[in-house]
Homo-oligomer: A and B are copies of this chain.
């Protein structure tokens, strides 16, 4: 079915981590000729590139932002706030194969002050198969049963920080991602260090890196105001690593992944209160974290062991503890599961909102769930979460929820509906929609969350594996520009069958289903998205700090106002972002 599954052995780079080995799929794109590669002066080359570029694997990276292919750029200068993570990308490109390569960094020094090398994460970038937007260029939604109908290619996206020593194939490029977590307590100053690539049969190749650390501080991600909601899929992790759901091993495999999410300021635990809340649309369907057991006398019994274990883990071990969104009472299929003890089977009732069957399934559960959440001290943090459904369905369901317990919070990701706005505690609306100014102000006063989402719909901005990396950072600025509190994407890790090799799925454009990779591997997309979130936090801080400096504040606000949907015209995303970033560090 997948055209590129078979040539799996054609790749030459093996990365291993947590017992997971993968081989990159073969590229399908034209490559630079042998002669072109032979024309390089040096056999092994190492140069700074930029973070906007997905360097093609078999192309000499001269056209991708380096002026001199023979030697490239040997020094990079970054600027950072204390506590900020700044990213850079270097590129290895070689004529002959280079084996046992590893890239290391020195401590960064500014006089007697040090940013220790442990704060710098170095990740060879691996390539994953992707496809493209729909042929009409209008987004990436819809079924894609036949991958041969789309132009596929491998793209640099996976930050494979696990790799201990690797081979750079002859006539090929291997990007290396560099993330510096500037400590919050470091002295301002200009910190300098060296990035060194060593490998078999060659002298080490070095690049210099310097970071100008400003006298401003970005707080820890756990304190960020940005209401980030990337939906977690624990089921994908258990399947990929082939471990029992909710076992110790399962939680162990989730830890680096979920810690990475917490490190981007995630606020919300994705939880389920029914089987298949999204009709099993992902490769790994969501099951219910709550067992609804129908006794043979017709009475209900609820088991929260899985739910409790998941929520407790996320709160206590991972540090994502602000909110629990529970999906859902109004799924697309309106089929509701229960374990029928009499027949020893999981059964489903089909019930419409407002029907007696719907109420008799949900009402006793909601009451018991409220009781349980209160006993755990979680009731105030929990929402019953909905996706867009008909207004009548949503109204009827909200009424039922509130009649079960008036204190229940409700969340919705969908269109803006003035009729139910007041009832939605956490309201995430589609890209391009806006909360009326007065409504948003009132929501702020009430402490309600008002956010925005993108999904497969948007050709730009997006976080597909083929999207321009700067688009992900653009989203943070857009969140500020639209006066949203944060951003939601429906899939943090709803992995495909072989997520490390092939980001294409039977539905939607490549990469739609996940932002990060197994083994706690980040991605160019995720790091750039996180940069945008940092920008959002920096904007919030600057707006407070610049309250008494109207000119500077105006500059900031003018810059932000570029990042509306309409504001993009005439500028490339990359230059918009570069200018905006520079402004944040100048103000």
- What residues make up the interface of A, taking CB atoms closer than 8 Å to B? 235, 244-247, 275, 287-289, 291, 295-298, 303, 305-306, 309, 337, 339-346
Q: Contacts of A305 on B, CB cut-off 8 Å?
A: 295-296, 341
CB distance from A101 to the nearest CB of B (A): 41
CB distance from A236 to the nearest CB of B (A): 13
CA distance A331 to B297 in the complex (A): 30
CA distance A346 to B343 in the complex (A): 11
Q: Is the interface of A mostly helix, strand, loop or mixed?
A: loop
**Contact with A344, one of B291, B295, B340, B344 (Cβ below 8 angstroms):** B291
Q: Contacts of A287 on B, CB cut-off 8 Å?
A: 342-345
CA distance A341 to B346 in the complex (A): 11
Decide if B303 touches A245 in the complex (CB within 8 Å).
no
Nearest first, the 4 A-B pairs at minimum CB distance are: A245-B342, A246-B296, A246-B342, A288-B344
CA distance A570 to B298 in the complex (A): 59
CA distance A340 to B287 in the complex (A): 11
Decide if B296 touches A342 in the complex (CB within 8 Å).
no
CA distance A582 to B143 in the complex (A): 78
Decide if B342 touches A344 in the complex (CB within 8 Å).
no
Q: Contacts of A340 on B, CB cut-off 8 Å?
A: 245
A287-B345, A345-B346, A346-B346 given. 20 additional CB < 8 A pairs? A235-B343, A244-B298, A245-B342, A246-B342, A247-B298, A247-B342, A275-B344, A275-B345, A287-B342, A287-B343, A288-B344, A289-B344, A295-B305, A303-B341, A305-B341, A306-B342, A306-B344, A337-B344, A339-B344, A344-B346
CA distance A394 to B363 in the complex (A): 50
CA distance A303 to B291 in the complex (A): 16
CB distance from A355 to the nearest CB of B (A): 19
CB distance from A159 to the nearest CB of B (A): 30
CA distance A346 to B337 in the complex (A): 12
Q: How many copies does the complex hold?
A: 2
Chain B CB within 10 Å — which of A298, A309, A337, A343 has the most? A343
14 contacts between A and B (CB under 8 A): A244-B342, A245-B340, A246-B342, A247-B296, A247-B342, A275-B344, A287-B344, A288-B344, A291-B344, A296-B309, A306-B344, A337-B344, A339-B344, A344-B346
Q: Contacts of A303 on B, CB cut-off 8 Å?
A: 341
Q: Contacts of A339 on B, CB cut-off 8 Å?
A: 339, 344
CA distance A455 to B288 in the complex (A): 44
**Contact with A341, one of B298, B306, B343, B344 (Cβ below 8 angstroms):** B306
Q: Contacts of A296 on B, CB cut-off 8 Å?
A: 244-247, 305-306, 309
Across the interface, name the chain B residue whose C-beta is closest to A275: B344
Q: Contacts of A309 on B, CB cut-off 8 Å?
A: 296
Q: Contacts of A342 on B, CB cut-off 8 Å?
A: 244-247, 287, 306
Q: Contacts of A275 on B, CB cut-off 8 Å?
A: 344-345
CA distance A244 to B294 in the complex (A): 11
Q: Contacts of A288 on B, CB cut-off 8 Å?
A: 344
Decide if A291 touches B245 in the complex (CB within 8 Å).
no
A341-B244 contact given A296-B305, A305-B296, A306-B296, CB 8 Å threshold:
no
Chain B CB within 10 Å — which of A235, A245, A298, A340 has the most? A245
CB distance from A43 to the nearest CB of B (A): 53
CB distance from A300 to the nearest CB of B (A): 13
CB distance from A182 to the nearest CB of B (A): 40
Across the interface, name the chain B residue whose C-beta is closest to A272: B344
CB distance from A317 to the nearest CB of B (A): 16
Q: Contacts of A341 on B, CB cut-off 8 Å?
A: 291, 303, 305-306
Q: Contacts of A244 on B, CB cut-off 8 Å?
A: 296, 298, 342
Across the interface, name the chain B residue whose C-beta is closest to A303: B341
CB distance from A281 to the nearest CB of B (A): 17
Across the interface, name the chain B residue whose C-beta is closest to A234: B342
Q: Contacts of A289 on B, CB cut-off 8 Å?
A: 344
A245-B343 contact given A296-B306, A296-B309, A306-B296, CB 8 Å threshold:
yes
CA distance A289 to B343 in the complex (A): 8
CA distance A344 to B341 in the complex (A): 13
Q: Contacts of A235 on B, CB cut-off 8 Å?
A: 343
Chain B CB within 10 Å — which of A246, A247, A296 has the most? A296
CA distance A246 to B343 in the complex (A): 9
Q: Contacts of A345 on B, CB cut-off 8 Å?
A: 275, 287, 346
CA distance A291 to B340 in the complex (A): 10
Across the interface, name the chain B residue whose C-beta is closest to A337: B344
CA distance A122 to B66 in the complex (A): 102
CA distance A289 to B289 in the complex (A): 25
CA distance A303 to B340 in the complex (A): 13
Q: Contacts of A295 on B, CB cut-off 8 Å?
A: 305
Q: Contacts of A245 on B, CB cut-off 8 Å?
A: 296, 340, 342-343
